[in-house]
Amino acid sequence: MVKAKAFILHKRFVGEPKASDLKLVEEDLPPLKDGEFLAEAVYLSVDPYMRAYADRLPLGNTFIGIQVALITESKHPKYQVGKHVVGSFGWRTHTISNGVSVAGDVPILILPDLGELPVSLGVGILGMPGNTAYFGFLEICKPKAGETVVVTGAAGAVGSHVGQIAKIKGCKVIGIAGSDEKNKWLKEELNFDHVINYKTQDVEAELKKAAPDGVDCYFDNVGGEISTIILNQMNLFGRVSVCGAISGYNNRNIKAGVVQFPLVFRQLKMEGFMVLRWTDRWMEGILQNLAWIKQGKLKYRETITVGFDKMFNAFVDMLRGVNQGKAVVKI
Ligand code: NAP
């Protein structure tokens, strides 16, 4: 009999999540039925949306999350032993699946052959965050060569990717992140044109210097005051892709100023999105991002924590900004 370990939501998060809000449990898994397979977690993702979505998750449920898992047993013709799958199986070590994802979750897919690349990319640049950058930026900002693009959360999984796509598209890119070390990576390795440390620098003044002709596209990962400052420096008919608002996930009582002024006077187009809007084009994003990696146009970093028992630490570290690129947990 296979024993699975899982983290369940034990108490509602208040402010920053506490380790005691989750509980580690063990489950005995039943034998496989026809049409099912057993997947053993290899890499689990920790993402900001978990903090926001946890408010809706019933207490006692397995905590949410995407993972790359190895198929170790199968009674399903499509899901063969030895293949890696990516699915929203939650924070658990072993999962029995029939290959059908729950409505509103990322599709369960067999990871394409990544060659020399690590399978962990299936929860990163070649998975949900990668598609968030690809579709959320290109479809909503519709960047043109020569335009100025600002991205916040710039050294994270989505932000570091968006900035690089903007460079591929011939734009000038300004990244805003929370440490000099992160900004050094963005500037020196990812070729961002300008970087701003929002923790130590005056974002308004620095942005005026970096974008004297104004901002055409803004990819918003953080919301709050920084976003209001950026909106006020946008050009006429600028486009804003609202991806997330991590500055408010632990604290919803943020005063961010009246964003309607720049929206009206600069006639901006601001649109929020959920990456699952593009589920029917999921593989297009993955294959394009894979091609850019192979062409040397797209680079990635991962911050890897080792051990299933360290899931919570990795999660809170990511919310605090410890990660560069994608935060993942290796089993
Ligand atoms: P990430 O950027 O890899 O990690 C989170 C980062 O947020 C941290 O490293 C930290 O970096 C930054 N941060 C934390 N608190 C902050 C604050 N108060 N102000 C500014 N930055 C703060 O995470 P990700 O997976 O790439 O996600 C980025 C955003 O995209 C999140 O808002 C997430 O919810 C959103 N998202 C949306 C979708 C969608 O479908 N709409 C899908 C995926 C992700 P610093 O050191 O720079 O502070």
Q: Which residues contact 313 (CB under 8 A, 6 or more apart)?
A: 305
- Structure confidence at residue 47 (pLDDT): 98
Ligand 1 centre to CA of 3 (Å) is 33
> Is the pLDDT at 255 greater than 80, yes or no?
no
H or E element, residue 291 = helix 282-294
- The per-residue pLDDT of the chain, averaged, comes to 96
- Structure confidence at residue 294 (pLDDT): 97
Question: For residues 153 and 155, what is the distance between their CA atoms, to the nearest angstrom?
Answer: 6
Ligand 1 centre to CA of 83 (Å) is 30
- Structure confidence at residue 100 (pLDDT): 94
Residue nearest (by alpha carbon) to ligand 1 atom 11? 321
Model confidence band, residue 258 (pLDDT cutoffs 50, 70, 90): confident
The tokens of 229 are what?
A: 């400052």
- Structure confidence at residue 102 (pLDDT): 86
Ligand 1 centre to CA of 320 (Å) is 10
> Is the pLDDT at 253 greater than 80, yes or no?
no
- Whole-prediction pTM: 0.97
**Which ligand 1 atom is nearest residue 47's CA?**
25
Q: Render pLDDT for 32-81 as a digit per residue (tens, 0 to 9).
A: 999 999 999 999 999 999 999 999 999 999 999 999 999 999 999 999 99
The stretch 148-166 carries a mean pLDDT of: 98
State how beta strands 109-110 and 84-87 pair. Answer: antiparallel
The tokens of 116 are what?
A: 């020399």
Q: Render pLDDT for 78-137 as a digit per residue (tens, 0 to 9).
A: 999 999 999 999 999 999 999 999 888 888 999 999 999 999 999 999 999 999 999 999
What's the CA dihedral at 127, 128, 133, 137 to 10 degrees?
130
Decide: 195 and 154 in contact? Cβ < 8 Å. Answer: yes
Instruction: Name all domains of the chain by residue range, CATH numbers in brackets.
Output: 3-124+300-330 (3.90.180.10), 130-275 (3.40.50.720)
**Which ligand 1 atom is nearest residue 159's CA?**
26
> Is the pLDDT at 174 greater than 70, yes or no?
yes
Decide: 233 and 208 in contact? Cβ < 8 Å. Answer: yes
> Is the pLDDT at 192 greater than 80, yes or no?
yes
* Ligand 1 pocket mutation pick from 161, 195, 246 by most atoms within 8 angstroms of CB: 246
SS3 content of the chain, % helix, strand, coil (to 5): 35, 25, 40
Ligand 1 centre to CA of 231 (Å) is 18
The stretch 292-311 carries a mean pLDDT of: 98
Question: For residues 227 and 176, what is the distance between their CA atoms, to the nearest angstrom?
Answer: 11
Ligand 1 binding pocket (C-beta < 6 A) is: 47-49, 129, 132, 153, 155-159, 177-179, 182, 221-222, 243-247, 273-275, 318-319, 321, 323, 327
* Ligand 1 pocket mutation pick from 134, 158, 225, 279 by most atoms within 8 angstroms of CB: 158
Ligand 1 centre to CA of 236 (Å) is 27
- Structure confidence at residue 318 (pLDDT): 98
Q: Which residues contact 72 (CB under 8 A, 6 or more apart)?
A: 38, 39, 40, 81
- Structure confidence at residue 122 (pLDDT): 98
- Structure confidence at residue 11 (pLDDT): 98
Ligand 1 centre to CA of 31 (Å) is 39
Question: What's CA 21's distance to the chain center, in Å?
Answer: 23
Ligand 1 centre to CA of 80 (Å) is 35
> Is the pLDDT at 175 greater than 80, yes or no?
yes
Residue nearest (by alpha carbon) to ligand 1 atom 4? 156
Q: Which residues contact 206 (CB under 8 A, 6 or more apart)?
A: 194, 196
The tokens of 198 are what?
A: 């929002």
